[in-house]
Structure 1
Amino acid sequence: MTTLIDIAAEQKSAEVTDWAARIGWVVGLLLFIAFVYWLMRQGWKWRGSLQSDLPELLAAPDAPGEAKLELTGRYHGSTTAGQWLDRIVAHGLGTRSRVELTLTDAGLDVVRPGATDFFIPAAQLREARLDKGIAGKVLAEGGLLVVTWAHGDKLIDSGFRADHAAEHAAWVESINSMINTTEGTAR
């Protein structure tokens, strides 16, 4: 006959956690995550080397003229014109950052703290429009100011989001009228 003492003696406590196996899984997971990030970085560098034929970005002239419009906000990146998912990463154009835009008669000055600044001469501006997205960023319809410009033999779309989205319409109107005026005088 089994007594309570015998039953208590036969019972064992639950297994203790196997720390070696758990540490092995955690280390394996961390190595996998590091490998995925390394692959992403290699892809970014590869895309940059494919776009190495893109000329260097222009710097702003010493005297660009009086500012027509100014805007602060975010730079969301640049893509091949008309292909909103084909991100351009060469020369730092793929780096998101804060931005200060200044439109003058000479062109568009793009100042990006912590990233490469660049200047788009008025003759290279092609169009400005409101859109809903660019590679890596999708907003409500009309939430993004997209400026199309020529750089070398390539047309580029650059996406900007003002701190106050109500400013976008004035930018589209000013840039497009500036382009029409420039085209009218070039004829």
Structure 2
Amino acid sequence: MRWDWLLAAAQPSSAPVTQWPLRIALVLVVVAVIALVLLGMRAGWRRRARLQADLPAPALPPSTSLASVVGPVPGVFLGSTAHGDWLDRIVVHDLGVRSRATAEVGAQGIALRRQGARDVFIPAEALHDAQTGRGIAGKAYERDGVLVLTWELGGRLVDTGFRADVGDEQGELHEAILGLAAEHGRAGEGLR
């Protein structure tokens, strides 16, 4: 018995490509749409930076380690937003950039040492409140998954999100920051 007909039927074959100009045009349209979306995102980020240009750069942490009350606690710096609006990201001075970080609480304030972005120091006098929440800067997590620090920068209240790698360490960090805010008479001033 001959099996040639079965082998011929099993061979993959495709129709010859026709209408090359139409296919190339469709690919170019898709590439152009993607490019326009990326350019629009970039323009929005730059516009936001222009609107926030009056916001001063946050202080840098001391070069030496703080006399730590808690920390350093490894985690993720989630970004900063205008107080009370967790979608209004602060983009100037790398405050909107998500990055790996460590948080350290000392009597002078809170040091957020970041990888690949500018470090941030929140002086104890500028700290208003610390609370846990579901998210910040467009990122949502489980209940109480984000530590939100409310602090003053250039006369404006800013919310900064930090998520510790280990939940117990986040609780210790939260308690230490609340204690620091209470020492400076500011506990609860930044409540949403």
TM bucket (normalised to shorter chain) is: 0.7 to 0.9
Does 2:143 match 1:159?
A: no
Q: Distance in 1 between matches of 2:169 and 2:64?
A: 25
Q: Give per-residue Cα distances to partners, 1:139-187, cap 9 Å, x unaligned.
A: 1110001111111110110001111122222122111111112229xxx
Distance 1:157 1:56 in 2: 15
- The separation in 2 between residues aligned to 1:178 and 1:15, in whole angstroms, is 72
Query: Which whole-Å deviations, capped at 9, do the CAs of 1:67-126 have from their partners, x for residues lacking one?
Result: 111211111110111111111111111111111111111111111111111111111111
- Measured after TM superposition, the shift of residue 64 of structure 1 is 5.7
Q: Which residues of 2 match residues 60-99 of structure 1 at below 5 A?
A: 60-63=61-64, 65-70=66-71, 71-99=73-101
Residues matched between the structures, number:
171
Q: TM-score, normalised by structure 2?
A: 0.84
Runs ≥4 residues deviating over 6 A = none
8 Å CA contact 1:64, 1:105 repeated in 2:
no
Match for 2:141: what amino acid? Answer: L
Unaligned runs of 5+ in 1: 1-13
Identity among equivalent positions (%) equals 41
> Among residues 112, 122, 125, which one is paired with 1:123 in the alignment?
125
Match of 1:21 in 2: 22
Once residues 173 and 73 of structure 1 are traced to their aligned partners in structure 2, the CA distance between those partners, rounded to angstroms, is: 17
Structure 2: any 5+ residue segments left out of the alignment? 1-14, 187-192
Displacement after TM superposition at 1:32 (Å): 1.0
Aligned residue runs from structure 1 range 36-185, under 5 A: 36-63=37-64, 65-70=66-71, 71-183=73-185
